[in-house]
Structure 1
Amino acid sequence: MLSTATQAPQGRMTITAHLRELRNRLSKAIGAILVTTVIAGLFYKQLIDFVIDPLPGCDPATGRATGTERCGIVSTNGLLSPFTLALKVSLTAGLIGASPVWLYQLWAFLAPGLHRTEKKYTLGFLAAGIPLFLVGASVAYAILPTTARVLISFTPDQATNILPIDDFLDLATRAVVVFGLAFELPLVLVMLNFAGIVSARRMAGWWRHMIIGVTVFAAIATPSSDPLTMLALAVPVIALYLLACAVARLNDRRRARKTPDALDPDEPSTLPEPEPESKSESKSHEYSH
C-alpha cells in the first residue's frame, strides 16, 4: 500500500507514485523469473532431455533407426552451443514457471484504475487464462512427436538428417506459444462480451467465418502439413469458441434481467422524431419573417 503522501489531492496516484509502483512490480516480476530460471538451470540436462524426447533420434551406435521409421542424428553445433542451449532452456522454463507471479504483478499494477466489478472480472479472466495457455502448451507438446516424424519423413532415402537441438527448441517454443495463444481466443471474446462490446448473438453469427478462419490459421501456424496436427489445434479452439458463445449468452440474459432498459450493442441507435409545430408557433414564425 502506498502512503497518503504519494497520493494526489483528488485521491489519485501521482506520476512519481506510478513510476515507483511500476518499478516495484517489475522488480518482483523479474526477481521471480530469475529465481525460477536459476532453479531450472540446476536441472537443465533433464529439461533438455524432456524437450528432445519427441525427436525420433537414431541409435548413437549404429546411426540408424530402431524401427522402420526415419530418424535423425540429434546434435549440437559449435563450442558454445551446449552452454547457450542450457541458458535458453532454463530461461524458457523460468518464464513459464514464474508466469503466475508476473501475470499477477501486471494485474496488480493495472488494478487501481479499475472499478470493483472490473477487478472481479479481471481476476476471473486471469484465473482462466493461465490454465488455458498451459492446456494449449500441453497439446502442442503432445503432438510434437507426430510433427517431428512427418517432417523427417521428407528426408531423401540417400541422406541422413542432422537435427540441431537449437532448431528443434525454437520449433517447439513456437508451437507452444501459438497453441497457447490460440487457446486464449475464446477468453478474449468472453472479455469483450462482459465489457458490453460484443453480444452473444453477434458472436454466434460469426460461426462460419470463425470455423474457416480457425482452420486456415491452424493450417498456417502448425509447423507440419500433417492434418492430425492441424485438427489438434482447430478442433479444441472451435469447441472453446462454442463454449464462449454459451457463456456470453448466459451473461447477456443476466444483464437483461438486471437492467431491462439497457441498450443492445447490436441494435442501431434511433433518433427521436421532431414533434410537429402547432399552428400558433407556425404563425409566429411567419410574422417574424
Structure 2
Amino acid sequence: MTAPEAPLDNPSRTFARAWDDVMRGVRANELWAHLGWQDIKQRYRRSVIGPFWITLSMAVTAVGLGLLYSQLLKSPIGTFLPYITVGFIVWNFILGCVTEGTETFISNEGLIKHLPAPLTVYALRTVWRLTLMMAHNLLVYLVVIGIFFSDLSHAYQINVPGHIQPGLSWTVLLAIPGFALIALNGVWVAVLFGIISTRFRDIPQVINALIQLAFFGTPIVWSTDLLQGSVLGNGGHWRVLVAELNPLYHYVEIMRAPLLGMTVSWHHWAIVGGMTVVGSFLALVALRNYRARVPYWV
C-alpha cells in the first residue's frame, strides 16, 4: 500500500509534533517496559533455565575466545579474558541496537496498525529488551571480575608490552552514565534506521553485512596496544588513528574502560556525546517528516 504524499505545509509535519511523539513515548513507560519483558519471556518460553541462556551463551563465547586469543596474542589470561568479556557484553548491546533497531517498526507491524501509540514506544521497547539481556550478561562480568580480581585490582597490562592501566577503582561507577549514553543512542538509532528500513527493506540486510565487518575493525578481541609501533614496528601512530576513526570503538570504550579499571579518556565521551546530539536531531527530523507514513510502509 502506497502512502499518500503529504503536502509541504502539512501542519502535522512540525518539530513540535515530533517532540510530542518522543515525550508521549517516554511517558508510556509501563507499555514499552511490559512489551520488552514479554519479548524476553516469549523468546525463552518452555526453556528450563529461561533467560539465563543469554548468560550461558555469553560465558561460553567470552571464555572460549578469551583463552584462544590470549594464546595467539601472547597476552596474560588474567587481564585479557576480562577485556574480551566486557568487550563482548558492550558490543552485543550495541549490535542489538543497530540490527534489531532497523526492524523496530517492521516487527511491530500489527501493533502500529491497531494500537494508537507513539512510534517512540517501539524504539524504547527494543532498547529495553536489549537492556534486560545485558543485565543477564553482566552476571558473567561479575564472575570474571571475582576470579581475576587480583590481576585487575592494581596497575596491569592487557598485552605485553602494552600500556599500563591503573586498575579497578571508584571510576567503575562511570560505567553507569556510559551505559545510559549508549542506550540513548540506541533509541535514536532505532527511530532513524527503523523509519528508513520501513521504506527501503534492503537496509536491514545492508546493515547486517556492514556490522559484521565493523566487528573485526573494532577492538573487541584485540587491543589498541597491538597497533603501537612497539608491537608491530614503526608506523603505530597512523594505525591508532584508523582505530580512532571507528565510531563504534568510542562507544565500547566509554563503558568498557571504567568496568576494567582502564584509563578513562575523555575524548571518547566527547565523540559519543557529539554523535548523540547529531543522531538525535536526525531522528527528530525523520519523525517530523515521515511519522505519519510509517503505518502505510510497514
When Rg is computed on C-alpha atoms for both structures, the one with the higher figure is 1
Return the structure number with greater relative CO, CA threshold 8 A, min gap 6. Answer: 2
Report the TM-score when normalising by structure 2. 0.31
